[in-house]
Amino acid sequence: MKKNLLFPVLALVILSACSPDAGTPAVYLTGINPETEDVPYMRFPFRIGLSDSVAVMLDLAADSCFYHVVSYPDFQYLYSLGKRGNGPGEIILPTPFQLHGGHLFLFDGNRSNIFDMNLSGKQNTGLEDYIHFNDLSTCVDFVRIDDTTFLMGDLSGRNRLLRVTPQTRTGILDLPGESAGENGADHGYIWRSYMDMNYELNKVALVTQYGAVLEIVDLNDWSVIRTVGKAGFPRSAKQHVAEYYDVKWRKNDIYALYSDVSETESNRQRAGDQKSLSGGDRVHVFDQNGVMTKTYHLDVPINGFTIDEKNNLLIGISSNSDWPVYIFKLD
């Protein structure tokens, strides 16, 4: 019998800032655009991740396969997977993927299916059905907590997050009340967020797609630290003036990809026949307490990124050039 449990978080700390990067060191980075052959054309390159000697790339608007696997660091094409469709091993609504222990975890946000594939052999062994969750609302992102437990955004508006297993569904956190005039599914929609898990700290970092909110959820006691930037809380899709595009933990720090190009400016670019660039060109670095310590300024906007810890590289993926990968050397 399925259980549906709802409970509020135990503690909440809110850090507000008029400008989260004011007074913090700024570092300017220039990306190198490596070229390779044979990788299928990607209509909207959106995410990239590393697992040992392979990289996985997500094409959010693919007309065939959503995910492409290449060797790393030479970016030679290996295979594609996650074909668009509703058959076995196919994806209807792709979401950002998770890499853990040499395995690729995918979530079909439409059918509520988790898929799993072992990446260690550099061969396409096919996606396997891992877990199916019944009656979940459409999900934007997720993190794997353990073999059977996942944390997902709740777009129904009833909770901030859902902690789900095949047998249980637990509502975590109330949506903040500062989003006046928004309720229900609309409220949940404008608070949709990207997330990443730090397994050593047992914490999850979330960043909002609209506004400028970073949340750090401690899974040990379900306490939350919330840092609010100058753009404030999410309001509505038509009024946003800033947005986060991706978030990653790097040891005990949080790297969050950010843009503050307003929709007004984006519309002005289109009206003037200027190409509207997609993605963020700043990476805000926070400590585990939500305090900003540094801002990286990138010379090209990217939609997502991963970090090569061994070689101290930030590897971004962009829809603003023919070959989407950019490599930035971190200080």
User: DSSP letter string over 33-49?
Assistant: ----SSPPP-SSEEEEE
d(C-alpha 330, C-alpha 223), whole Å? 31
CA distances from 71 to 46, 48, 49, 122, 187 (A): 18, 12, 12, 8, 41
pLDDT tens, N- to C-terminus, the chain (331 residues): 333 333 333 455 555 444 455 678 999 999 999 877 788 899 999 999 999 999 999 999 998 999 999 999 999 999 999 999 988 888 888 888 999 989 999 988 778 788 899 998 777 777 888 887 776 666 788 999 999 999 998 888 888 899 988 888 888 888 876 544 455 677 888 888 999 999 999 999 999 998 899 999 999 999 999 999 888 888 765 555 568 999 999 999 999 999 976 555 555 555 555 566 789 999 999 999 999 999 999 999 999 999 999 999 999 999 988 889 999 999 8
Do residues 283 and 291 make contact, with C-beta atoms less than 8 angstroms apart?
A: no
Q: Give the pLDDT of residue 17.
A: 44
The alpha helices in 73-139, defined as continuous H runs, are: none
Q: Give the pLDDT of residue 266.
A: 57
Q: Give the pLDDT of residue 319.
A: 93
Q: Give the pLDDT of residue 177.
A: 62
Q: Give the pLDDT of residue 189.
A: 84
d(C-alpha 159, C-alpha 65), whole Å? 32
Q: Give the pLDDT of residue 310.
A: 95
Q: Give the pLDDT of residue 201.
A: 97
Q: Kindly provide the b/e burial profile for residues 165-190, where b requires at least 16 CB atoms within 10 angstroms of the residue's own CB.
A: beeebbbbbebbeebeebeeeebbbb
Contacts of 1 (CB under 8 A, 6+ apart): none
Do residues 288 and 203 make contact, with C-beta atoms less than 8 angstroms apart?
A: yes
Q: Kindly provide the b/e burial profile for residues 7-41, where b requires at least 16 CB atoms within 10 angstroms of the residue's own CB.
A: eebeeeeebebeebbeeeeeeebebeeeeeeebee
- In this prediction the pTM is 0.88
d(C-alpha 236, C-alpha 182), whole Å? 8
